[in-house]
Amino acid sequence: MWIAYELKIGDWRKMKYPNLYMAIETLDDKIRDQTLVDPRTYAAEFERQVLLDMIEDRLNREGRVGILAVYQLIRRGYSWQEVADQLDVPSADVVKRRFYRWIKKAARA
């Protein structure tokens, strides 16, 4: 009878210290659940990507080559000064003002 009980439980240590093994199994389950959960919100990222692509498509349709180049560089993570250097514009402020001016016009339309 004891052998059958020990086989059912799995080990004499689990029989003698059931709370210890239950806590370890629970901890293992929590760690597994947390590592398998993906914290990113894919729906929000997808909506943001669609919105950014729509802006790029609009710039293409309107033929705004300069603003499109600024937009693509900013989207890739370039700073305003790096964008100005890439486009051979003397000042980063000039590029920034042109870009924001287009954004305001696009928002009104």
Tens digits of per-residue pLDDT, 83-97?
999 999 888 999 999
**In this structure, are 28 and 49 located in the same domain?**
no
Residue 88 backbone zone (phi > 0: left; psi -120 to 50: alpha; other: beta): left
Provide the domain count of the chain: 2
**In this structure, are 28 and 46 located in the same domain?**
no
**In this structure, are 62 and 30 located in the same domain?**
no
Token pair in block for residue 82 = 């790096």
| Length of the chain measured in residues | 109
38-83 pLDDT tens trace = 667 778 888 989 989 998 999 899 888 999 999 999 999 999 999 9
**In this structure, are 52 and 79 located in the same domain?**
yes
**In this structure, are 58 and 7 located in the same domain?**
no
Distance, CA of 77 to CA of 85 (rounded, Å): 14
**In this structure, are 95 and 48 located in the same domain?**
yes
**In this structure, are 10 and 49 located in the same domain?**
no
37 pLDDT band, cuts 50/70/90, is low
**In this structure, are 57 and 76 located in the same domain?**
yes
Residue 68: what pLDDT?
A: 92
**In this structure, are 52 and 98 located in the same domain?**
yes
Token pair in block for residue 1 = 């009878």
**In this structure, are 52 and 80 located in the same domain?**
yes
Q: Which domain holds residue 55?
A: 42-108
- Single out the residue of 106, 84, 86 nearest to residue 95, CA to CA: 84
- Single out the residue of 106, 32, 20, 109 nearest to residue 71, CA to CA: 106
